[in-house]
């Protein structure tokens, strides 16, 4: 996969989710069969389309580019290559007998059904990140200073062992099945230095907020976040994102991507108040068996009772059953 990654690391539209290492992660942790399509011209890779097959008794059978990713779809050197890869993806989806093909595009491709549920948030990392914090909004500066006065401190390059309890608690509290701990361990093992964790501890040395980040070229993607209930009252999340900025800048990053959010949610507003601008994402579908776009997101009214029940589960129970359910969500 060295030629694949060489292309993914240099093409301006390629994201962290276009890297070849995801084949290892998705197959090794979830057993999702990978179909990583690529195009060559004169012996050189000129386009890639990572896909994985997701089977679920609850949510059906799908070919997705890419499960657990905010971004996906084709990255190609020209429109001819892009069309060829998309055409092969449609052919493959029909050959596999999936219910639908889903491509998580940042821009609309072809005349396929589209769901505009999510937006991404990005902003340039300020050139100067000092104690004056002039690169972030005044209210956020005040919150970071509040956290510091309360004795909170950050630990860059923290461990999965410290990150996971905060992540799992946050997932349960939102009524979402948690990903397995071994998934995060596999991410760190496969992507090495380009997968890092920044945590915030309170004055009793408890990890109250933590986030796992991906680094791709000069972009940092703050992706998997977790927190304890008390984190909000002590401004731990504001300190966390400030420290991610500093950590990313030390790694040579110039762009801060704070991940996707659904419109109208609390996370959407939090990111907007930090100065991030929303950018519409376009998830497109080829409906081979389904008649309508699948709605596997928590805003679907069908899942309201399930979400409410999940929020009441003891943590050991949620951590045990969560990975079985989340595998089919992707």
The predicted structure's pLDDT at residue 127? 85
Cα separation, 64 vs 124, whole angstroms = 30
Domain 2-116+281-294 matches domain 119-279 at the CATH topology level: yes
Does 110 have pLDDT greater than 90?
no
Fold of 119-279: Aminopeptidase (3.40.630)
Sequence spans of domains, the chain? 2-116+281-294, 119-279
Does 108 have pLDDT greater than 90?
no
Residue with tokens 């290892």: 24
pLDDT tens digits along 214-229: 999 999 999 999 999 9
Tell me if 250 sits within 8 A of 63, measured CB to CB. Answer: no
Q: How far is CA 15 from CA 5, 41, 109, 269, in A?
A: 11, 22, 17, 24
Tell me if 86 sits within 8 A of 37, measured CB to CB. Answer: no
Band (301; pLDDT cuts 50, 70, 90):
low
Q: What percent of the chain has pLDDT over 90?
A: 68
pLDDT tens digits along 157-209: 999 999 999 999 999 998 889 999 999 999 999 999 999 999 999 999 999 99
pTM over cut 0.85: yes
**Stretch 9-18: mean pLDDT:** 95
**Stretch 18-40: mean pLDDT:** 96
Residue with tokens 């093909």: 101
Number of H helices, E strands in the chain: 10, 14
Residue by residue, DSSP assigns 215-275 as: EETTEEEEEEEEE-GGGGGGTHHHHHHHHHHHHHHHTT--EEEEEEEETTSHHHHHHHHTT
What top-level class would CATH report for the domain 2-116+281-294? alpha beta
Residue 44 CB coordination number (10 Å): 11
**Stretch 284-306: mean pLDDT:** 75
């Amino acid at each position: 996969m060295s030629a694949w990654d060489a292309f993914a690391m240099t093409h301006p539209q390629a994201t962290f989710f276009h890297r070849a290492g995801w084949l290892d992660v998705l197959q090794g942790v979830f057993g999702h069969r990978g179909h990583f399509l690529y195009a060559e011209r004169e012996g050189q890779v000129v386009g890639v389309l990572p896909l994985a097959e997701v089977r679920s008794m609850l949510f059906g059978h799908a070919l997705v580019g890419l499960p657990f990713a905010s971004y996906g779809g084709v990255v190609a050197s020209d429109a001819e290559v892009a069309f060829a890869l998309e055409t092969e993806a449609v052919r493959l989806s029909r050959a596999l007998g999936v219910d639908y093909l889903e491509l998580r595009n940042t821009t609309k491709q072809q005349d396929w059904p589209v769901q505009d549920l999510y937006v991404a948030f990005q902003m340039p990392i300020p050139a100067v990140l000092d104690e004056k914090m002039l690169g972030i909004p005044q209210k956020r500066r005040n919150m970071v200073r509040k956290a510091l006065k309360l004795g909170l401190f950050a630990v860059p390059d923290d461990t999965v062992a410290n990150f996971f309890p905060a992540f799992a608690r946050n997932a349960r509290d939102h009524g979402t099945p948690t990903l397995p701990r071994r998934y995060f361990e596999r991410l760190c093992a496969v992507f090495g230095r380009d997968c890092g964790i920044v945590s915030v501890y309170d004055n009793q040395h408890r990890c109250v907020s933590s986030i796992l980040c991906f680094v791709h070229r000069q972009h940092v993607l703050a992706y998997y976040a977790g927190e304890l209930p008390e984190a909000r009252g002590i401004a731990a999340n504001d300190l966390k994102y400030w420290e991610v900025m500093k950590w990313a800048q030390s790694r040579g990053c110039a762009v801060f991507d704070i991940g996707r959010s659904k419109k109208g949610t609390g996370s959407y507003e939090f990111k907007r108040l930090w100065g991030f601008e929303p950018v519409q994402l376009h998830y497109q579908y080829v409906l081979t068996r389904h008649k309508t776009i699948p709605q596997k997101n928590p805003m679907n009214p069908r899942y309201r009772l399930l979400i409410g029940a999940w929020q009441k589960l003891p943590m050991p129970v949620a951590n045990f059953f969560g990975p079985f359910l989340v595998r089919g969500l992707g």
